[in-house]
Chain A
Amino acid sequence: MKKYFKPGIFILSTIPFLFIFYKIYFNKLGPEPVKEITHFTGEWTLIFICLTLSMSPLKRFTNLSVWTSFRRMLGLFIFFYATLHFLTYIGLDYRFDWNPIFDDVIKKKYVFIGFAAWVLLVPLAITSSQKMMKLLRNNWKRIHRLIYAIAIFGSLHYIWLSKTIFFKPLIYFIIIIVLLLLRIKINRKELNYG
């Protein structure tokens, strides 16, 4: 039973991709298709950030270690959807026209922080393998704590690009903050017991 978990989660995680692919192929994206793809991939990046961050609290609450075994895969799906999001923006929207893109990155804080979040994801994706984990030892954990900053950046990216914080940007922000606060408590416990 347990051996089907990971492939199952892998298949589930590709559903958003297949869904948007289907919508593009059959031209079902409405009046502003490029924005639709950008928003869709962006939101799924945030959802995968939330899912990835939920694994260790779930492990704690359920006393089941299986949760954290999904973390690597979910984390790589963050990178996958974030990269689609990034490529949609620079490729489909701006046609690799670097001047306005560069202008956006330095002048608009939401683009800047979004870009920063994607850049920070790159080393996490590169060092995600078991081999790298062994190679980097204690530093691996340190590097992978970047996900906390990435989560906050991602949430701020959404807040700053929206006309108002109501409601989705606020909801993602609250979820991410709660998931991060849960960690602070966990760490304290560990300290007490340690």
Chain B
Amino acid sequence: MKKIKHSEITPENIYKKRRSFVKKLGFGASALAVSSFPLISNASSKDRNELTSYKDITTYNNYYEFGTSKGDPHRNSKMFKTHPWNISIEGEVDKPIKLSMEEISDSFLSEERVYRLRCVEGWSMVIPWMGFSLSKLLSKVNPTSKAKFVAFESIYDPDQMKGQKYPVLNWPYKEGLRIDEAMHPLTTVVTGLYGKKLPNQNGAPLRIFIPWKYGFKSAKAIVKIKLVEKMPMSSWMWASPREYGFYSNVNPNVNHPRWSQATERIIGEGIWAPRVKTLMFNGYGDQVANLYTGMDLKKFF
């Protein structure tokens, strides 16, 4: 099994060229990832699927552990230590384990996965993540029949994360998924982006990414994954249950009290670019809508 080395740094312009080359040929390592990206039929589809620049992805972040401004995570996470790093997988499982980051990168191959990130604030990016399906990681522990939900816990280290010194959120950051959502192949364990090691401000050394949900569902710097029977409480639900539901699927028909969810701005498009229409399930409906058949998504927002 050949692994993609994060140390093989590719300049962004070459990276983009290489991708379009692969796309034109219609085969190669990233062809799969490209084909899984939803096709959008409206006029702006070309701009919409264009990769967001590395600079914008790594300097415009919501990561309140490092501060509440968009530029804070980039500025304040430079010294963040991601080594050594252990992740424990526990709860309703046959064999709880503790894995080091090295063990994870040795046993799981990271592939390129281009997904759109839709923030609850009404903006979006297209990011070439590096990662693998969470289901692969969970299969290591054999969840029991009682495992109905998966709870994610991020690191708590106020000495390194100055945002945690203040009660901005109920630290440590917690998120959760229903087990079938967690086992869905689109739910990704992220270890890198743009073919490089995951930058600290994007959730190094390991985060999850759920493309059809608002960005805050995708917890960063994860240290604990716990399989549980009851629906876990996330940090944002705890902060404001009226605004942040457990599911938080991207849904242009359910209004957030503060942001328009019908439209979004594409990051990096410049001042004169108009908003574009937000897609149900962020454009991944073909693949995930069946997880919610029969559910009132206005009620379970």
Contact = CB atoms under 8 A, between A and B. Distances in A.
B241 interface: no
Contacts of A29: 271
Interface stretch (B40-48, B104-112, B261-269): B261-269
B59 interface: yes
B265 A35 contact: yes
Interface string A76-117: 000000000000000011110000100010011110000000
Interface in B143-187: 166-169
Nearest to A164: B168
Contacts of A108: 255, 257-258
B274 interface: yes
A20 to B, nearest CB: 11
Interface string A3-30: 0000000000000000000001001011
Contact of B262 (A34, A100, A167): A100
Interface size band for A: 20 to 34
A31 interface: yes
A110 B243 CA distance: 14
Contacts of A109: 257
Majority secondary structure, B binding face: loop
A61 interface: no
A133 to B, nearest CB: 39
Contacts of B260: 100, 104
A92 B271 CA distance: 8
Contacts of B263: 100
Contact of B60 (A32, A161, A164): A32
B166 A166 contact: yes
Given A164-B68, A166-B68, A166-B168, A33 B270 contact: yes
A95 B271 contact: no
Contacts of B68: 163-164, 166-167
B168 A31 contact: no
A160 interface: yes
Contact of A27 (B265, B270, B274): B270
Give me the 6 closest cross-chain CB pairs, A-B, nearest first. Answer: A33-B271, A31-B56, A31-B60, A31-B267, A166-B168, A164-B168
24 contacts: A24-B271, A30-B59, A30-B60, A30-B70, A31-B56, A31-B60, A31-B268, A32-B265, A32-B267, A33-B271, A34-B271, A37-B271, A94-B275, A95-B274, A100-B260, A100-B262, A104-B260, A109-B257, A110-B257, A160-B258, A164-B68, A166-B68, A166-B166, A166-B167
Interface of B: 56, 59-60, 64, 68, 70, 123, 166-169, 239, 255, 257-258, 260, 262-263, 265, 267-268, 270-271, 274-275
Interface of A: 24, 27, 29-35, 37, 92-95, 100, 104, 107-110, 160-161, 163-164, 166-167
